[in-house]
């Protein structure tokens, strides 16, 4: 059992979270690729969360039966990149125009960096400490931490985990610098041959030079040459950049199975109502061309 937060958000803005004490099962990409489909969990007793499990179409958001409430707040595509083969072969999935546009972004960042990009990989125990020291300070400037409360962890358990991963050869962490200043980071440890996208952030002051995109491009180029990695897993959630880089995706859902109590019912229906409101507002703003503009303003202020 562990405590996980049920996050209440309005769009990109984190409002508050309520704790749920649950048994947690997080499905790996390898399990999903093997066609695991565990969403039929009606009748299961006890409180548990099945995170990022394979999902069929038209799943109900809330279903109550036999004193159990099953809640699926959303379904989404779980994107991944197959990094077997070569980076040059991977680039063939893009049109010539898209390849040129992407390479231009990388070249522009090189130009403002004096002609050479300062891109660093951290894999050893000593490097793990250096990465965390630099990335945690950068994380405080990112919208991921300020808006989503999803910055790089700073607790002792996470730092110990970094070192353990480095000692076992599983650490993959990266930083992009501009004139000695860190502007983007990515932490993606390797689990069973899969580099797992856990934390990414970039300095909003550099947004016009696309540091997050440039770093992701460079990381994938490095992973294609890494014999210990077969897949890059973007994990839960969707996004334009994830969709852009992906070579495949699997339809997934987060499933909460809870004992049907009044307090839980109130929490779940409140969360579902806010999610519906947020989605409706997003659709309305998108229809009048304001959604992306408001997102940019929120991320920069």
Can you spell out the DSSP letters for 64-100? Answer: EETTEEEE---EEEEEEEE--S-HHHHHTTS-HHHHH
**Mean pLDDT throughout 79-87?**
96
Quote the tokens at residue 125: 């125990």
Supply the pLDDT for residue 235: 92
pTM of the model: 0.84
How confident is the model over 161-205, as pLDDT tens digits?
Answer: 999 999 999 999 999 999 999 999 999 999 999 999 999 999 999
1 vs 23: CA distance, rounded Å: 4
Q: Where in the chain is the domain with CATH 3.40.630.30?
A: 84-229
Answer whether residue 149 shows pLDDT above 70. Answer: no
**132: burial class by Cβ within 10 Å (0-12, 13-18, 19+)?**
buried
- Residues of the chain with pLDDT > 70, as a percent, come to 89
Residue 142's pLDDT band (boundaries 50, 70, 90)? confident
Q: How far is CA 219 from CA 109, 121, 122, 177, in A?
A: 15, 9, 12, 14
The CATH number assigned to the domain with range 84-229 reads 3.40.630.30
List phi, psi (to 5°) of 10.
Answer: -115, 100
**Mean pLDDT throughout 38-48?**
60
Check if the beta carbon of residue 53 is closer than 8 Å to that of residue 26. Answer: no
């Amino acid at each position: 059992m562990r405590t996980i937060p049920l996050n209440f958000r309005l769009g990109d803005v984190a409002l508050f979270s309520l704790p749920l004490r649950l048994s947690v099962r997080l499905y790996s990409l390898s399990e999903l690729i093997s066609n695991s489909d565990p969403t039929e969990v009606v009748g299961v007793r006890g409180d548990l969360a099945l995170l990022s499990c394979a999902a069929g179409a038209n799943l109900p958001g809330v279903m109550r039966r036999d004193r159990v409430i099953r809640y699926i707040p959303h379904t989404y595509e779980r994107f991944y990149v197959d990094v077997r083969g070569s980076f040059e072969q991977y680039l063939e999935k893009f049109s010539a125009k898209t390849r040129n546009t992407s390479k231009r972004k990388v070249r522009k960042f090189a130009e403002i960096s004096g002609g050479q990009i300062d891109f660093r990989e951290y894999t050893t125990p000593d490097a793990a400490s250096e990465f965390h020291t630099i990335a945690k300070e950068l994380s405080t400037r990112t919208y991921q931490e300020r808006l989503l409360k999803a910055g790089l962890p700073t607790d002792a358990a996470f730092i110990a985990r970094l070192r353990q991963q480095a000692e076992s050869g599983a650490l993959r962490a990266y930083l992009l610098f501009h004139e000695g200043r860190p502007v983007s980071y990515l932490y993606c440890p390797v689990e069973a041959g899969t580099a797992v996208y856990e934390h990414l952030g970039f300095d909003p002051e550099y947004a016009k030079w696309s540091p997050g995109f440039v770093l992701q491009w460079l990381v994938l180029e490095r992973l294609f040459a890494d014999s210990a990695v077969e897949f890059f897993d973007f994990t839960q959630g969707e996004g334009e950049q994830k969709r852009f880089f992906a070579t495949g995706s699997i339809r997934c859902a987060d499933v909460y199975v809870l004992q049907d109590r009044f307090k839980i019912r109130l929490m779940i229906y409140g969360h579902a109502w806010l999610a519906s409101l947020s989605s409706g507002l997003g659709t309305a703003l998108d229809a009048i061309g304001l959604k992306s503009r408001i997102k940019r303003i929120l991320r920069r202020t």
